[in-house]
Amino acid sequence: MKTILVFAGTRPEIIKMAPIVRELHARQGSQTNRQDAWQAHFCFTGQHDQLARPFLKYFDIEPDSWLEIMESGQSLGQLASAAIAHIDALIEKHPDSCAALVQGDTTTAFIAALSAFYHKIAVGHVEAGLRTSKIDEPFPEELNRRLITRVAKWHYAPTEAARTALLREGVASESILVTQNTGIDSFLWTIAHPHKPISVYLAGLDGKRLVLVTVHRRENIGAPLDRIASALTELSREFKDIVFVLPVHRNPEVSETIRTRLGGIHNIRLAEPLAYPDLVWTMKNAELILTDSGGIQEEAPSLNKPVLVLRDETERPEAIDYGTSFVVGSDTARVVGVAREFLTGKRKLTLRGTSNPYGDGRAARKIVDHLLSRVSL
């Protein structure tokens, strides 16, 4: 029996791979021709480990294997070394593998693609073709996704802009399929299942003015994060009637700065990482979002929410063109100034489209259709 390997290990990866895993499982269960039988093997690589596990439960996808590769204080080199050893060993246990699916731009996604390539297994890259102009921004994700492109056989691009970026780099047109984004599959699935928040950190917020803030990117650690904290301090003092909800990432370099600089401010609510339905509820009820997350930039157009991107560049220009994203970087004055315009009503969204440019909820089906038509079963 042939095996299709699926890798995910962070919260964003699980959000975006869950629809594919469910689609594969549904089709696996409906197989009638045993001669061409195949199975999907979902490997949780564990790059976010404890943070990601609730997402596995929520989306009802149980990994077939779990890797334990994370250690406290681990460098990127140590992470890559541990990942390639564990993933290589996993692949050797499945010599009948005919394809491997990886998503996005994490270090473990690149290592999984590289390991599959070493074993001459065809690699499918979900969310292929996202690019910024600098190889180190975001760091190390921009390099990771460019490297995955070099070893992938099938490139599942979420947008035409991503397809164009791949063509510029010499990727053959016939190996690219524009699918839209599987993260929107999960987002719309969640929106369709009404949910009341269960996190204690969201208690009593129903009906209040809210701003959602998320920040975790490596390039924002240090001075940029200090400037962002200064901006949030200034905004919280100016807009005392607004609650700023900030789920604190568990990376100590992020959490120590956030808790030291913003802890104790009465209308900044520092929360533990939120379960996905709670995060979606907060997005839905916020009037403004400040983030360096890529996934939130993709999801916000479905809610027509303004997003201030706390980065100097974004690989998601479609959200800017649509009218929901605004790149403000980490400069304190710029963050405060643009946020103030939205919170006082001086600036409003001007949408240049009628639907989310990243998807309509059918991306996973397109990917699985293509994959099963191409693999040697």
Active site residue 216: yes
Out of 27, 249, 362, 374, pick the active-site residue.
249
Sheet holding 38-44, edge to edge: 65-66, 38-44, 2-8, 97-103, 122-126, 154-157, 176-178
Out of 25, 218, 250, 340, pick the active-site residue.
218
Out of 13, 127, 292, 315, pick the active-site residue.
127
Residue 30's pLDDT is what?
Answer: 80
Out of 105, 142, 185, 219, pick the active-site residue.
105
Residue 72's pLDDT is what?
Answer: 80
Residue 32's pLDDT is what?
Answer: 72
Walk me through the domains of the chain, giving residue ranges and CATH numbers: 2-180+362-374 (3.40.50.2000), 200-343 (3.40.50.2000)
Active site residue 127: yes
Out of 13, 137, 141, 185, pick the active-site residue.
141
What is the β-pairing status of strands 288-291 and 176-178? unpaired
| Alpha-carbon gap, residue 326 to 341, rounded angstroms | 12
**268 SS3 class:** strand
| Alpha-carbon gap, residue 95 to 217, rounded angstroms | 36
Whole-prediction pTM = 0.89
Active site residue 142: no
Active site residue 105: yes
Out of 48, 86, 216, 316, pick the active-site residue.
216
Active site residue 48: no
| Alpha-carbon gap, residue 217 to 60, rounded angstroms | 28
pLDDT tens digits in sequence order for the chain, 377 residues long: 899 999 999 989 999 999 999 999 999 988 877 667 899 999 999 877 777 888 899 999 999 999 988 888 889 999 999 999 999 999 999 999 999 999 999 999 999 999 999 999 999 999 999 999 999 989 999 999 999 999 999 999 999 999 999 999 999 999 999 999 999 999 999 999 878 899 999 999 999 999 999 999 888 999 999 999 999 999 999 999 999 999 999 889 999 999 999 999 999 999 999 999 999 999 999 999 999 999 999 999 999 999 999 999 999 999 999 999 999 999 999 999 999 999 999 999 999 988 999 999 999 999 999 999 998 65
Asked whether the bond before 273 is cis by omega within 30 degrees of 0, the reply is no
Token pair in block for residue 251: 């990376």
Q: How many CB atoms lie within 10 A of CB 197?
A: 19
